[in-house]
A and B are shown apart, each in its own frame.
Chain A
Amino acid sequence: MAKHKTPLLDQLESGPWPSFVSDIKQECENRAKNAKGVDYQIPADCPDDLLGVLEMSYVDGETHWKHGGIVGVFGYGGGVIGRYCDQPEMFPGVAHFHTVRVNQPSGLYYTTEFLRQLCDLWELRGSGLTNMHGSTGDIVLLGTTTPQLEEIFYELTHKLNNDLGGSGSNLRTPSCCLGQSRCEFACIDTQQLCFDLTNTYQDELHRPAFPYKFKFKVDGCPNGCVAAIARSDFSIIGTWRDEIRIDQKAVAAYVGGEIKPNAGAHAGRDWGKFDIQKEVVDRCPSGCMRYEGGKLEINNKECVRCMHCINTMPRALKIGNDRGASILCGAKAPILDGPQMSSLLIPFIKVEEPYDEIKEVIENIWDWWMEEGKNRERLGETMKRLSFQKLLEVTNQKADARHVREPRHNPYIFWKEEEVTGGWQRDIADYRKKHQK
């Protein structure tokens, strides 16, 4: 029997898409039954009270969670989000409802053994509810009480051999696409790079010392499945700088209709016969392709690596062999100064362990941003305030036409004194000798 009546939420149980309401109710029932005789360390009816307070929000049109709360584990300044209900008497099971962020494995592969261990931990010491996964990529364990936090951390590190993720003004848990593990487009080993950066910068991840949050995301190719260019202060995106490899026989097979274009992604509608001229050559944003006499030619020097031709004919066209990454900086969501996409800083960098070259760029940026960044100012905003030129300077990069979409629209150039012949020191008396007042 449900603890709270939830007539509004109940309406979210119908319809085809998986219902989170049905799932929470299933957890309520299982906890009430307690078939395994678990000695729950937080109220067993915690999921019931979550439904109760959520139903109240559905009636009120307002949230019932209080503003933050500084809780955490000893020695860390992040990884736990404090949360308290603003109606604790009505919903004691969620009076404390803190979230624990657990650092996810790169690429989000799991063994059932690990997930079951995690479930056991969260059954005993938490609400039994999770997010798989949070927006930044962490495993999110949703809802526990303050006395359980150290216990959870102890078990997590001792039994599951896994650490917490980031929160607050620190390095947020880095994330990546699945990369070379199961994708032919991946130009770099995103998983290894992500894992390495996460471990290299554990101190920055756990102990807030930054002006604001800082995110790394690693995409294996310009398709951008982990949204690095939109969602990370430091975006690493795999690319290549030699030639797209062409298998002309496979090209012919696409033209002849023996292979489904776009790996079958458009198979649900009759788009007519595949037309390589119209669908590939004419769609190339840099116009660097030609199809003549049954042969596909690519002028690779003019290619901008948009991935369209490769996505459309993955069996005929392959990424180049001279692979690395482009590095872009400064993406963020709109708060406060409007949304920003990352801007290209390094067109090409080799991605090889131990990634010293990449780390040098990261650390130079941090040194600058920690010195100059204002409280709660993301890197992208610091860049806007202090100029892209400054970013180039602190990262020892030379300006390159690739850094801009187009040159500036105004001539208000901040010349430096050393750039101007003779410097800026002049004598007004000398000037007056030639020019009357």
Chain B
Amino acid sequence: MAFISSGYNPDKPMENRITDIGPRHFDEFLPPVIKKNKGKWAYHEILEPGILLHVADSGDKVYTVRVGAARLMSISHIREICDIADKYCGGHLRFTTRNNVEFMVGTEDEAKALKKELNGRKFAGGSHKFPVGGTGAGVTNIVHTQGWVHCHTPATDASGTVKATMDAVFEEFTNMRLPAPVRIAMACCLNMCGAVHCSDIAILGIHRKPPMIDHEHLDNMCEVPLAVAACPTGAIRPTKTDFQGKQVATVAVKQERCMFCGNCYTMCPSMPLADKEGDGIAIMVGGKISNRITRPAFSKVVVPFIPNEPPRWPSMTKVIKKILDAYSKDARKYERLGDWANRIGWERFFEKCDLEFSHHLIDDFRDPAYYTWRQTTQFKF
């Protein structure tokens, strides 16, 4: 391997340097029919799962074929997407905010032919490369985080749990038979880079063991005051300890106060908390972002812990399937998962989903906790 210079001169880093130019202007990337009719779209229709029609005031039509994708994507795969877009879409395509890919064509026949072709393309291992779907009242693609592929704080993997879940609910991706859209999200620790806090169903990696303390290196690797300040419950204090006959500056953790957020580890690498037995998954449900009918809502924890079971997390997918099936059977048209649970009551939700309610599910974190307790005699037997 010979080093290939881009033109950058390390001795003169400011020479010809271009900075602060921002992204390319989106106009450069819009397909002609989109550019022409921007701001003048009249209506849309989902013709069949995965195929959308948008009609402009001008009468122009654009047909969109939506396909699922793993957001961890190789350049080989992106090049294949480009080949398809070059062949059918004049060299244009777009991604959705939920990691789907959209191919836009001019006629319904082209869209249907493209759907067939896309559904026919498979990876060597047998899975779809471009499953068409993700529209309307169904399950669309999962927004998620990095997990064991790239992150330093995860309590589980992201790509694997997502693949296992989407395999389990695949029929709902290619159909539109649920009462309302179901948005599933995945975050591999409490930082929630995947923002699962407002999803119909959320898969969340959690830790359950307090951090270990690497006394040997802590003082060199961390700023003790930052580690102390990082703890939301004040469980960490500075201290000194004997390490191999030498006094070292370090921290002490009041373990019973730990809420396993991992914020100390983010600030101080000498306080790792990942652990095979301690880590696993919590399931949250009933969040939403849309203002449709009801207000946006937070997800609620309904299963406090499921052990990590790589590679396919069968206990986790079983729980998700159970919740989805109960919702599908019982909810009214247009009712989001959380609205359904609110209507029937959460005591019924646990019954209908065949989930156990335990003390872990009662909020005890600061003021908002009180507002989740029941201050009424209205409840169901």
A312–B101 Cα distance when bound, in Å, is: 25
**Residues in A whose Cβ lies below 8 Å from that of B45:** 260, 263-264
- A-B CB pair tally, cutoff 8 Å: 443
Taking A20-B70, A154-B8, A337-B232 as contacts, is the C-beta distance between A107 and B26 under 8 angstroms?
Answer: yes
Q: Chain A interface: which of B119-127, B235-243, B248-256, B348-356?
A: B119-127
Residues of B within 8 A of A227 (CB): 97, 195, 198, 289
Indicate whether A13 sits within 8 Å of B91 (C-beta atoms), given known contacts A182-B62, A268-B138, A336-B263.
no
Residue in B16, B64, B193, B291 whose beta carbon sits within 8 Å of that of A306 in the complex: B291
A23 to B125, CA, bound (A): 9
The yes or no answer to A339 lying at the interface (CB within 8 A) is yes
**A375 sits at the interface (CB 8 A):** yes
A54 contacts partner chain B, Cβ-Cβ < 8 Å: yes
Min C-beta distance of A228 to chain B, whole Å = 8
25 A-B interface contacts by CB (under 8 A) = A11-B312, A14-B126, A17-B170, A18-B123, A23-B70, A24-B74, A26-B124, A61-B277, A62-B279, A67-B269, A97-B150, A113-B91, A123-B75, A128-B76, A129-B72, A154-B7, A158-B6, A158-B7, A184-B44, A266-B176, A269-B137, A283-B293, A307-B292, A314-B43, A375-B226
The answer on a CB contact under 8 Å between B293 and A16 is no
A279 at the interface (CB under 8 A from B): yes
- A108 lies within 8 A of B41 (CB): no
Determine if A230 and B289 form an interchain contact, defined as CB atoms under 8 angstroms apart: yes
* B342 CB, min distance to chain A CBs, angstroms: 13
1/0 per residue, CB under 8 A from A, across B141-159: the answer is: 0011111111111100101
Q: Please name the residue on chain B nearest to A280 by beta carbon.
A: B334
CB-based nearest A residue for B77: A23
B115 at the interface (CB under 8 A from A): no
Query: With the chains together, A282 CA to B86 CA distance in Å?
Result: 47
| A9 neighbours in B (Cβ, 8 Å) | 160, 311
Query: In the assembled complex, how far is the CB of residue B304 from the closest CB belonging to chain A, in whole angstroms?
Result: 15
Stretch at the interface among B17-25, B106-114, B319-327: B17-25
The 8 A CB mask of B180-224 against A (1 = contact, 0 = none) is 010000010011111111100000000000000000000000000
A17 to chain B, nearest CB (A): 4
Is B39 among interface residues, defined by CB-CB distance under 8 A? yes
Flag if B69 contacts A132 (CB, 8 Å): yes
Residue B166 interfacial (CB < 8 Å)? yes
Question: B265: CB under 8 A from chain A?
Answer: yes
Contacting residues, chain B, for A231 (C-beta < 8 A): 195, 198
Size bin of chain B's contact surface: 35 or more
Given contacts A161-B21, A230-B195, contact A265 B150 (CB under 8 A): no
**B195 and A64 contact, CB distance less than 8 A:** no
A224 contacts chain B at the CB level, 8 A cutoff = yes
A17 and B163 contact, CB distance less than 8 A: yes
With the chains together, A307 CA to B287 CA distance in Å? 18
A314–B44 contact, CB under 8 A?
Answer: yes
Would you call B228 an interface residue if the criterion is a C-beta within 8 Å of the partner chain's C-beta atoms? no
Contacting B at CB under 8 A, from A47-103, are: 47, 50, 54, 57-58, 60-68, 74-76, 83, 97, 99, 103
Residues of B within 8 A of A132 (CB): 69, 71, 73, 78, 95, 99, 101
Q: Which of A194-202, A354-362, A395-403, A412-420 contacts B (4 or more CB under 8 A)?
A: A194-202
**A16 vs chain B, min Cβ distance (A):** 5
Q: Residue on B with the closest CB to A28? A: B74
Main secondary structure on chain B at its contact with chain A?
loop
Quick one: which of B20, B135, B287 has the most chain A CB within 10 A? B20
Instruction: Decide if B131 touches A18 in the complex (CB within 8 Å).
Output: yes
Cα A106 to Cα B22 with chains together (Å): 11
Report the minimal beta-carbon distance from B129 to chain A, rounded to whole angstroms: 6
Find out whether the CB atom of A15 lies under 8 angstroms from the CB atom of B269.
no
Contact between B7 and A131 (Cβ–Cβ < 8 Å)? no
A128–B77 Cα distance when bound, in Å, is 10
Question: Does B360 make an interface contact (CB < 8 A)?
Answer: no
CB contacts (< 8 Å) of B4 on chain A: these are 39, 41, 124, 151
Task: Please state if B1 and A39 are interface contacts (CB–CB under 8 Å).
Answer: yes
**Whole-angstrom distance between the Cβ of A418 and the nearest chain B Cβ:** 30
Quick check: A57 and B148 within 8 Å, CB to CB? yes
User: In this assembly, does B362 line the interface, its C-beta being within 8 Å of a C-beta of chain A?
Assistant: no
B19 near A111 with CB under 8 A, answer no
How many whole Å from B16's CB to the nearest CB in chain A? 8
B258: Cβ under 8 A from any A Cβ = no
Task: Tell me how far the C-beta of B69 lies from the nearest C-beta in chain A, rounded to whole angstroms.
Answer: 6
* A359 CB, nearest partner CB in chain B, Å: 16
B149 touches A54 (CB 8 A): yes
Asked if B73 and A131 make an inter-chain contact with CB atoms under 8 angstroms apart, the answer reads yes
Check A18/B92 contact, CB under 8 A, given A62-B274, A307-B291: no
- A122 on interface, CB distance cutoff 8 Å: yes
Cβ of B164 under 8 Å from chain A:
yes
B34→A119 contact, CB < 8 A = no
Distance of A184 Cα from B261 Cα, bound (Å) = 42
Are B74 and A229 interface neighbours, CB within 8 A? no
Question: Is A114 in contact with B24, judged by CB distance below 8 angstroms?
Answer: yes
